[in-house]
Every structure is written in C-alpha cells, then in structure tokens.
Chains A and B, each alone.
Chain A
C-alpha cells in the first residue's frame, strides 16, 4: 500500500519544525563578517585598491594635480623612450687590409747541405778509406 498525496504532504510538513542546531546562526554571522573583511582586504591590496587610493589622492591634490599629471605623463613618455627596443648597430670597417708576401726563411738543414764539399777529389778513392 502506498501513502496517498495527503499523507505525503503531512509527512513532509513535519520537516517544517526542523531547524539548524542552536547557536548556528550566530556562528554563521561571525563567519559572514569575517569573510567580508577578508574580501575587502584582498580588494584593498589588489589593483582595484591601488586605483582607488590613486584617484582619492588625485582628488585631494587640488590644482597641483595638473602639475603632478604633467610630470607623470612626461615620466611615462621618457620611460617608454628609454625602454623602447633599439636596433643593434653592426660596425662595418671600410679600411682595406694591408698585406705583403714575405719570402719564407731558408730551412737550416738545406743550408747545411749546401755548405758540404761534395766534390769527388774531396771524397777519396774506394778502398783508401782509413779506419
């Protein structure tokens, strides 16, 4: 046997009395505020916070803001100019290379051979060799 629709409704209605545990909502509230503070601090530290502080400072600077603005603009342009990538320069020398042929120095062993007296009369006869 199935419960009818009315009985299902009555069963589910019992759950109306269910509540989170006692003290839950107070703890929940504390955590809620803690999370909001953490989020606010994260925003303050991030780019949004910097921008907010910058615009606030500009707002408070009065007429001097134009001078600051011009100075900042000039600094930005100068920084861009300095940081811009320049083409690397390759040095091309137009001076011609000087050269001359230097005769090689005669080999010492060849000089020794040339000094030798190789004439037949200076060589003696066969069998006349003295030991």
Chain B
C-alpha cells in the first residue's frame, strides 16, 4: 500500500510519461490500480454493470485531469479521491433516479456476486460457504450509508490506514474512526442471525 507521507510516490515516472501523452504509461497505471478500484466501486454499488461504467468514467476523468495533477499527493491517493467522489455522486443520483429500495438492492446483491475469490477454487465446500458469507456481507454492507460503506470498504476490505482514508475523504482521522465504529456496530447487528446459524 503506497503511503505518500513516508515514501516517494512509486508512480511518479509513469504519471510523468502519461502526462506527456504516453498512453502505455496510463495503461500501466490502469492495470496497477484497476483491481483495487474495481473492488472499491463494486463494494459500494453492489452492481456489476454500474461498477464497470463507473470505472470507465473514473479512469477517463483521471486521464483528462492528469495535466492538473500537481503531485501534491500520491497518484494513488488522487485517483482514489476521484473514484470515491464519483461513486458517492453516482449513488446519490441512482437513489434519486430509481428510488431503489434496500430490499431490491439486496436481491441484486444476492444474485449477483461479481467478484471471484481466487484463493479457494480447489475447495468447493469452503468456496460455497464463502459465497454465502459474501452474499450476507454484501447484504449487510448495503444497509450502511454510502459514507460508512466507503470507510468500511477502504479500511476493512482494502486494508488502508486511517490516515490515508482521512486524506481521501478529506475528513479527520477521528471522523474515520467514529464512522468505522458505527459501521461495525451496524454490521454486527445485520450479521447476527447468520452468525448464530453458522457457529
């Protein structure tokens, strides 16, 4: 995980080349961060098609805005800021546009686990349990507000430090911690039933 407070930005060279119009350099940046950003957007939207379209828009915005990138933060932090802001805006619009209820979203999540756990392909039973758990987790995640879901995704799923999340969301570390605490409480409540059955 790049940390721009301690280390130099590992993407400096690629970013410089991309700014000069080298599309292969930008391709390399897409391949470097595509998976992580896909995870971030999917865990926030719970919809494959929306994730794909949003990710296209995020990288397009980053490509167009590259001349404005001054290197005051790491490229990683910068593109995460773009991704989080665009995803939060998209979720607000989606809510207004379709009036999608949580129940409708839940069923979409249950029937559409877009991500594949690549570590347990060999063990079908474990894979099945993980699949079920994934569905439950996605369901519980969708009960969180967008801002709480963003914090949980970045901290718990993507393993980012509090300071990095605070920088991306432009809030204090205290706010990040309190959002996490609240979100964990909510998830505990939503996962209680499944937890009792499985233990």
Q: Which residues of A contact B (CB under 8 A)?
A: 1-5, 7-9, 11-21, 24-25, 28-29, 31-33, 35-36, 39
Please state if B195 and A3 are interface contacts (CB–CB under 8 Å).
Answer: yes
Residue of A whose beta carbon sits closest to that of B134: A15
Task: Say yes or no: A20-B195 contact (C-beta < 8 A), given A13-B159, A25-B30, A28-B30.
Answer: no
Task: Say yes or no: A28-B55 contact (C-beta < 8 A), given A11-B191, A12-B156, A15-B134.
Answer: yes
Which of A4, A5, A11, A33 is in CB contact (< 8 Å) with B137? A11
Between A and B, 6 residue pairs with Cβ closer than 8 Å are: A2-B191, A3-B192, A11-B133, A20-B34, A25-B31, A32-B59
Count, chain B residues at interface, CB 8 A: 40
Please state if A15 and B137 are interface contacts (CB–CB under 8 Å).
Answer: yes
Residues of B within 8 A of A12 (CB): 137, 152, 156-157, 187
Please state if A19 and B188 are interface contacts (CB–CB under 8 Å).
Answer: no
Task: Say yes or no: A1-B199 contact (C-beta < 8 A), given A8-B188, A17-B117.
Answer: yes
Residues of B within 8 A of A39 (CB): 60
Would you call the interface of chain A mostly helix, strand, loop, or mixed?
Answer: helix
Residues of A within 8 A of B116 (CB): 18-21
- Given A2-B191, A18-B134, A20-B34, output 6 extra A-B contacts at Cβ < 8 Å: A1-B192, A1-B195, A2-B195, A7-B195, A12-B157, A16-B159
Residues of A within 8 A of B59 (CB): 32
Distance in Å from the Cβ of A98 to the closest Cβ of chain B? Answer: 80
Q: How far is the CA of A32 from the CA of B116 in the complex (A)?
A: 23
Please state if A8 and B55 are interface contacts (CB–CB under 8 Å).
Answer: no
Which of A5, A7, A32 is in CB contact (< 8 Å) with B30? A32
Residue of A whose beta carbon sits closest to that of B136: A11
Is B171 an interface residue when CB atoms closer than 8 A count as contact?
no
Distance in Å from the Cβ of B117 to the closest Cβ of chain A? Answer: 5
Chain B 29-46: CB-based contact to A (< 8 A → 1; otherwise 0): 011001100110001000
Task: Say yes or no: A14-B130 contact (C-beta < 8 A), given A1-B199, A36-B60.
Answer: yes
Please state if B157 and A16 are interface contacts (CB–CB under 8 Å).
Answer: yes
Task: Say yes or no: A18-B39 contact (C-beta < 8 A), given A25-B31, A36-B60.
Answer: yes
Q: How far is the CA of A25 from the CA of B30 in the complex (A)?
A: 8
Q: How far is the CA of A11 from the CA of B152 in the complex (A)?
A: 12
Please state if B56 and A28 are interface contacts (CB–CB under 8 Å).
Answer: yes
Residue of B whose beta carbon sits closest to that of A28: B34
Which of B31, B56, B63 is in CB contact (< 8 Å) with A31? B56
Distance in Å from the Cβ of A11 to the closest Cβ of chain B? Answer: 6
Distance in Å from the Cβ of A29 to the closest Cβ of chain B? Answer: 6
Is B52 an interface residue when CB atoms closer than 8 A count as contact?
yes
Is B158 an interface residue when CB atoms closer than 8 A count as contact?
yes
Task: Say yes or no: A35-B56 contact (C-beta < 8 A), given A11-B133, A15-B157, A29-B31.
Answer: yes
Please state if B188 and A15 are interface contacts (CB–CB under 8 Å).
Answer: no
Please state if B192 and A8 are interface contacts (CB–CB under 8 Å).
Answer: no
Q: How far is the CA of A8 from the CA of B181 in the complex (A)?
A: 11
Residues of B within 8 A of A1 (CB): 192, 195-196, 199
